[in-house]
């Protein structure tokens, strides 16, 4: 059924004015434990040591670019060992990060689950700030680093903890689900989190006739189309996915009726109406692995198409993709810097963290 009601910052006269906090808790870099900068020269040793990694990305990174990246990739591998660190990377990270330096890659749910199993003392999160906060919530005793704490998210920036309290006042007793693309401050105010992998399951797990689902209006619309639960939504949107248009997808199909189109549920409904499959980034990748389409349009962030093509070069990608400027703040250079200086550390107020962790753990502990 359609979304029942939708609210946004302008709908609350009592809402405190001011900047929405997107990256509130990044601590300054710790210089005390800095290690010397390693040599970043392209040598025969570096070429030999990184040759197996180049095999993984040779279909998406031209040979002429590899000597510029390989020394940093090699230095990152050595530093990870020296620091006892693990690198978690979202599916939207560039191939040289996703395939060459990450220990664990995946969608938001996979990264959250994997974060609970990490043995290393240091986690370097290659993704955006809310992902690093989620890792910190699940690993309060570990050091969680993000190579650039300004890697935000338009969804996380669209709502504050105070907004959630105002929604609760307006709809007393109605449970609140927050997409993980929110700050820890928002997670602390809600009943449970969800990701795009499990949003419908989470909403239905509450056994309530009506649920407040925030902050993504398009994911809320998608969830509402899959359940009888009444959905009250928030006017947030992903600045990357909201730019796609149904008409551009129709044009691809008219040009080649055999083309397959898959889309992320953060896209507007006219885009999802054109898709052969809708799912989280991990579900999209699994769909491509299983179906092996000849020609594919992947309606999501550009790097994911590169990461899939690196693995499945026989799939021809048509690329009407959009870049996420926040994801692209993470680079090989700042990952190296992060390991050298142990910056920027993600910290969360402990009292707030207890409440935010509960919302994330409730999601992770849901039975499949």
The residue ranges that bind ligand SF4 (CB under 6 A) are: 128, 153-155, 181, 238-240, 266, 301, 324, 326-327
Instruction: Count other C-beta atoms under 10 Å from residue 45's C-beta.
Output: 10
Residue 196 binding ligand 13P, by CB under 6 A = yes
Coil, helix or strand at residue 27: strand
195 binds, among ligand SF4, ligand 13P, none (CB under 5 to 8 A by kind): ligand 13P
* CB 227 to ligand 13P: min, Å: 19
Q: Which is nearer to ligand SF4, 291 or 329 (by Cβ)?
A: 329
Q: Which residues ranging from 95 to 124 are in contact with ligand 13P (CB under 6 A)?
A: 107-108
Q: Which two three-digit tokens encode residue 41?
A: 């020269």
Q: Which is nearer to ligand 13P, 149 or 280 (by Cβ)?
A: 280
CA angle, corner 75, sides to 70 and 80, nearest 5?
A: 125
Q: Select the residue interacting with ligand 13P from 91, 134, 143, 183 (CB under 6 A).
A: 91
Q: Which is nearer to ligand SF4, 7 or 130 (by Cβ)?
A: 130
* CB 324 to ligand 13P: min, Å: 7
Query: What is the rounded distance in angstroms from the CA atom of residue 223 to the CA atom of residue 246?
Result: 19
Q: Which residues ranging from 236 to 275 are in contact with ligand 13P (CB under 6 A)?
A: 238, 264, 266
Q: How many amino acids of this chain bind ligand 13P (CB under 6 A)?
A: 11
Contact predicate 289/116, CB 8 Å = no
* CB 87 to ligand SF4: min, Å: 18
* CB 215 to ligand 13P: min, Å: 12
CA angle, corner 363, sides to 92 and 219, nearest 5?
A: 55
Sheet with strand 295-299: strands edge to edge: 277-278, 260-263, 295-299, 316-318
| 304: Cα within 13 Å, side-chain hemisphere | 31
């Amino acid at each position: 059924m359609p979304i029942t009601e939708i609210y946004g910052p302008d709908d609350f006269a009592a809402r405190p004015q001011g900047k929405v906090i997107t990256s509130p808790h990044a601590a300054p870099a710790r210089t005390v434990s800095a290690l010397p900068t390693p040599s970043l020269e392209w040598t025969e040793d570096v070429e030999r040591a990184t040759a197996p990694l180049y095999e993984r990305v040779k279909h998406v990174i031209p040979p002429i670019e590899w000597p510029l990246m390989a020394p940093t990739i090699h230095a990152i591998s050595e530093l990870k060992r020296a620091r006892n660190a693990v690198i978690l990377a979202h599916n939207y990270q560039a191939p040289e990060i996703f395939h060459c330096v990450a220990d664990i890659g995946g969608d938001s749910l996979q990264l959250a689950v994997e974060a609970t199993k990490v043995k290393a003392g240091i986690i370097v999160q290659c993704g955006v700030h809310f992902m690093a906060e989620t890792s910190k919530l699940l690993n309060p005793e570990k050091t969680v680093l993000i190579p650039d704490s300004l890697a935000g998210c338009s969804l996380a920036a669209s709502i504050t903890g105070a907004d959630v309290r105002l929604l609760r006042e307006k709809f007393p007793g109605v449970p609140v689900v927050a997409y993980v693309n929110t700050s820890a401050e928002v997670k602390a105010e809600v009943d449970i989190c969800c990701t795009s992998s499990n949003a419908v399951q989470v909403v239905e797990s509450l056994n309530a006739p009506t649920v407040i689902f925030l902050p993504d209006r398009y994911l809320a619309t998608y969830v509402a189309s899959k359940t009888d639960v009444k959905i009250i939504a928030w006017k947030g949107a992903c600045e990357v996915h909201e730019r796609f248009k149904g008409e551009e997808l129709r044009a691809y199909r008219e040009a080649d009726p055999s083309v397959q189109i898959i889309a992320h549920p953060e896209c507007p409904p006219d885009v999802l109406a054109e898709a052969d499959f809708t799912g989280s980034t991990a579900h999209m990748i699994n769909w491509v692995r299983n179906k092996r389409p000849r020609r594919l349009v992947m309606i999501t962030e550009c790097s994911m198409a590169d990461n899939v093509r690196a693995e499945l070069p026989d799939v021809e990608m048509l690329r009407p993709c959009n870049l996420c400027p926040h994801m692209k703040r993470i680079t090989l250079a700042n990952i190296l810097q992060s390991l050298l200086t142990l910056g920027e550390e993600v910290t969360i107020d402990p009292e707030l963290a207890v409440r935010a962790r509960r919302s994330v753990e409730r999601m992770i502990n849901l039975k499949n």
